[in-house]
Structure 1
């Protein structure tokens, strides 16, 4: 017998897995489309009139860039409007990755086209009207800079780090600290986790004297009856447990001190977990790469035109096109790999897999199957199977246990009581 749990779509659990800046990025993209469309026409016409391959290449890429921007903008709009459409089983968060993949393919095609045209121009150089071509290339670069500025501020990287927030009660007391009246004075028992794995610390209030590690015992008792004993090491002015405290931090504590045994309780506080998942918006990333690629081609065009004018090196113009093509091809390849992996549900976050496995094992159970995949920017889904010796544990227990992980937005758990599956635990 197994217990299967997945919060149903119709039971108050939404499937909106869009990035945090989705609507803002959508507006930025539409703005860039207008700017680039106007510049696209100027560069293509100017390049043909003045015979500059680099300028034509920049204009051609600007045209595909405008088209790619349109793909990105439509993807944003469609994903937002259909975020709650039940036809999308896991939401529309991956539409941005699909748009990014499409843009990367367009980038690759343009790189091939520019390289081909450059080879033709190497073989048959064309006269260039430098005084007309160079100003247009400069204007093209300025447009790219403005576009990059408009698209900047999006999340193109990863979010990392770890911190735990500490709530306080109505009297300002830290929920991680317990003061206990004992025969040897007021003892402060705390859970310390400032930049280190959580451990217990014990000290006498005021630090007038220290306790002896040999005379202190501590046992945690969790809601399911699980017990864990902690040993302590002597530190400067306090005692610290030799082993870390498994999550969650909700349990009763029996503390043995000289003169008696004392009982206190810790409740699981609200963690501010910033073990961030990948929050990159690949749709915006693709749009941004298009702009930067345009800027790179513009720079190459300007350099090629200036050198060709000053030294008569007409081959510098097609060479600039080749260099620009290589740069675009490299960025395209990286974007194809990233978005393609998401589209085929490749495991995208080994750190989250490790954390889920650790949480299950710390709870005394065995994880026998786990799949973690990206649902959208900053959102991961997880499907797992667990073998447990605790008959009272159902899937809701594990859903609560794992729900504290930031970015793990959709959890499906299958629970196997030990004995119902042939597996050693």
Structure 2
């Protein structure tokens, strides 16, 4: 085997399934850990010097905060360190999901502790030193907001759940330099069945009777399309079958032009999100949410003498944290248990394989890491097609980072 072939073989069998921006996320997490550690030291030392138990308690709370973030940072570090380790059959991309699951369990325990303490104080109120408690809560809020901003890179809140559909995009509109003036050709399917549309911005109007398109697919299948005038635009009478990957021979102004169309599939939602970073951001946002609620509750309790407001706010905060924790546990557990991360994409993969009458006997789609999916397909076909034919059909699915295909001949 030549050096070039060896390099190609290694690239083809690469099992590095780290998310996009992995190292940048790792660096941001360490920066936030340093911020939390510095804040922890300041509060504990300052509380000891001025004799404030509240400051010391908040400093100790900040230490648990830093510990949860340390879990995320180590997951990034281990995933990168063991990315090429052959002992991991499908790479180390799930380290982040494992850390996210553990962090979600910690969040659930924190929610239970807050709820338990709040219920106890609701029935047995304790004196509150408002002059110290409010500034400490405000300081904690500032640190949490800064941490969330740093972790998200300054532009994304990280705890949204997204949607689970796979998006497919086509090439941009095609320009055809016809003799009578440029013509624009595109596949239109915004809320309607996919059809060709032709238009000309300047020059003589297009005639539906003088325009036609013949598509030629990779397997040699051909289809002709006639057009109808839709008020300045010509639209094909027939729908365009999936997949939208073909050579379009366009006849316009008495000449024929060949235009290539390709379709690209992109995964979204559970298939792409970085659950490790999401867990870290949820952790600091949960803390920030509780801080906001606590500040509001303390001010009301101070102004109106309502001691029950503080524990009530604690209960509400515990419920918010518990709901975020449950969502994070559900999503990370789904990845660790190899649930299908994107059912819509699985359906489109099946349709792509079965486009010419073949049958998918078995299909497994699972997540290998953020933005990386693995697929195993068993195909039954009466034709002489081989693995390369089906691999070419799946090439448009950019999220499929590890593809295994079994081809069986039908009786």
Shorter chain as denominator, the TM-score bin is 0.7 to 0.9
Return the structure number with greater relative CO, CA threshold 8 A, min gap 6: 1
Question: How far 1:73 sits from its partner (Å)?
Answer: 0.3
Q: Offset of 1:96 from its aligned partner?
A: 0.7
Unaligned ranges ≥5, structure 2: 1-7
Change (3 A) 1:248 1:388: farther
Which residue in the other structure is 1:34 paired with? 34
From the superposition, tell whether residues 15 and 146 of structure 1 become closer, same or farther in structure 2 (CA, over 3 Å): same
Partner in structure 1 of residue 3 of structure 2: none
Distance (Å, rounded) in 1 between the aligned partners of 2:127 and 2:206: 90
User: Of 209, 213, 216, which aligns to 1:212?
Assistant: 209
**1:266-415 correspondence to structure 2 within 5 Å:** 266-267=259-260, 274=266, 276=268, 278-391=271-384, 393-415=385-407
2:73 equivalent in structure 1: 73
- Partner of residue 112, structure 2: 112
- Aligned to 1:371, the other structure's residue is in SS state strand
Larger radius of gyration: 1
Q: CA deviation at 1:306?
A: 2.5
Q: What CA distance in whole angstroms lies between the structure 1 residues aligned with 2:79 and 2:240?
A: 43
Give unmatched runs, 5+ long, in structure 1.
1-7, 168-173, 421-425
Deviation string, structure 1 residues 264-298 (Cα, Å, up to 9, x no partner): 655455x5655646421111111111101111222
Deviation at 1:352, TM superposition (A): 0.7
The question of whether the paired residues in 2 share the 8 Å contact of 1:191 and 1:199 is answered with no
Instruction: Indicate the SS of the match to 1:390.
Output: coil
Counterparts in 2 of 1:359 and 1:289: CA distance versus 1, 3 Å: same
* CA distances 1:129-168 after superposition (whole Å, capped 9, x unpaired): 222222222211111111111112357354875543349x
Match of 2:14 in 1: 14
What displacement does 1:342 show? 1.0
Deviation for aligned residue 1:227: 3.5
> Equivalent of 1:224, from 219, 224, 231?
219
In the superposition, the TM-score normalised over structure 1's length comes to: 0.78
Give 1:321 deviation, angstroms.
2.4
Q: 1:273 to 1:194 in 2, by over 3 A?
A: farther
Show CA shifts across 1:341-389 (max 9, x none).
1110111102211221232233443333222211211122222222334
Determine the C-alpha separation between the residues in 2 that align with 1:233 and 1:388.
38
- The superposition leaves residues 196-223 of structure 1 with CA deviations (integer Å, 9 ceiling, x where unpaired) of 565445789943562428xx77654445
Residue 4 (structure 1) aligns with: none
Alpha-carbon separation, structure 2, partners of 1:111 and 1:334? 14
1:255-266, aligned counterparts within 5 Å?
265-266=258-259
Match of 1:165 among 168, 171, 179: 171
**Number of residues of Structure 1 aligned to a counterpart in Structure 2:** 391
Does structure 2 retain, via aligned residues, the 8 Å contact 1:62–1:294?
no
Question: What RMSD in Å do the two structures reach over aligned CA positions?
Answer: 3.7
Aligned to 2:101: 101
